[in-house]
Amino acid sequence: MDKTCGSADEAIADIADGASLAVGGFGLCGIPHVLIQALLARGTTDLETVSNNCGVDGAGLGLLLAAGRIRRTTGSYVGENKEFARQYLGGELELELCPQGTLAERLRAGGSGIPAFFTPAGVGTAVADGGLPWRYTPAGDVAVASPAKETRRFGDREYVLEHGITTDFALVRAAVGDRHGNLVYARSAQNFNPLCAMAGRITVAEVERLVEPGDLPAEQVHTPGIFVQRVIEVGPDGKGIEKRMIRTEG
């Protein structure tokens, strides 16, 4: 039952080229930056990521992106990352855009064993009708476009079918975890971390503080250990600021 690993390198050692990853965080809040750095150092490539956003230039998943390690990504927000825009518009990166609430529910559904669900989000738009550019050619033409999705009427409202998401691995960050994999997230770091933890077939958690089983009150646990296979203690350092605003007097 002791799920702790001695290092980040050990925890991600079997993430192979071409693996799919659900990665927690929102902007730079709650991102598993130690595990991302370990993947970068290991040279793992051709990755498919699922995350709210793909990091920023120079931080988070943006590091893997800049190194050319990500082949495809699914997310709901792609701003704040010039390299992301360059790769996507240049035909180097495939992108599946998804409404943020739908993305959250797709991860939760996948982790709950629910293959698909109907939602009103996206009805009447290219999300449902298809045609969103997933990949461009280097010349700027659409090489791959999103397919049309099944729609169905319930009562007096139209809904679109969305599929649950599961991935080979999930990388998450928590404030506190125990050796059984139970996790507690601090404040807004709860964002996508609990959902990604559910969606990964193998979930790796980096925690700022490791405690013994029984130290965490059951009612305070955000992610039960049944969803987590590996835990590493990384300490509290390394948190970034996405936008540093400096006020000048006068």
Residue 62 sits in a domain whose CATH number is 3.40.1080.10
Q: What is the pLDDT of residues 189-205, one digit of tens each?
A: 889 999 999 999 999 99
Q: Is pLDDT at 215 greater than 90 in this prediction?
A: yes
123 compared with 188, residue with greater pLDDT: 123
Report CA torsion sign: 95, 100, 101, 107. positive
Question: Which stretch of 24-33, 104-113, 165-174, 188-197 has the lowest confidence by average pLDDT?
Answer: 24-33
Q: How many helices (H) and strands (E) does the chain have?
A: 7, 13
Q: What is the mean pLDDT of residues 61-88?
A: 92
Q: What's the pLDDT at 170?
A: 98
Name the residue among 17, 31, 16 with its Cα closest to residue 62. 31
- Split into its structural domains, the chain has a count of 2
Q: What's the pLDDT at 245?
A: 65
Mean pLDDT of the chain: 93
Same domain, yes or no: 37 and 146 = no
Same domain, yes or no: 199 and 155 = no
Name the residue among 207, 195, 212, 249 with its Cα closest to residue 232. 207
Q: What's the pLDDT at 241?
A: 62
- Percentage of residues in the chain with pLDDT exceeding 70? 96
The residues that bridge with 136 in the sheet, in sequence order, are: 142
Q: Is residue 179 part of a domain?
A: yes
Q: Is pLDDT at 13 greater than 70 in this prediction?
A: yes
Q: What is the mean pLDDT of residues 168-176?
A: 97
d(Cα 124, Cα 107) in Å, to the nearest integer? 23
Same domain, yes or no: 130 and 220 = no
Q: What is the mean pLDDT of residues 31-54?
A: 95
d(Cα 152, Cα 160) in Å, to the nearest integer? 6
d(Cα 224, Cα 47) in Å, to the nearest integer? 27
First to last CA, the chain: 60
Same domain, yes or no: 94 and 201 = yes
d(Cα 192, Cα 105) in Å, to the nearest integer? 10
Pairing relationship of beta strands 70-75 and 94-97 according to DSSP bridges? parallel
Q: What's the pLDDT at 244?
A: 64
Confidence tier at 214 by pLDDT (50, 70, 90): very high
Q: Is residue 95 part of a domain?
A: yes
Q: What is the pLDDT of residues 151-161, one digit of tens each?
A: 999 999 999 99
Work out the burial of residue 61: count CB atoms within 10 Å of its CB; fewer than 13 is exposed, 13-18 middle, 19 or more buried.
Answer: buried
Same domain, yes or no: 22 and 97 = yes
Q: Is pLDDT at 237 greater than 80 in this prediction?
A: no
Q: What is the pLDDT of residues 116-142, one digit of tens each?
A: 999 999 999 999 999 999 999 999 999
Q: Is residue 66 part of a domain?
A: yes
- The model carries a pTM of 0.92
Q: Is residue 238 part of a domain?
A: no
Report CA torsion sign: 170, 31, 173, 40. positive
Work out the burial of residue 43: count CB atoms within 10 Å of its CB; fewer than 13 is exposed, 13-18 middle, 19 or more buried.
Answer: exposed
Same domain, yes or no: 149 and 76 = no
User: Which residue segment(s) compose the domain that 210 sits in?
Assistant: 8-115+164-233
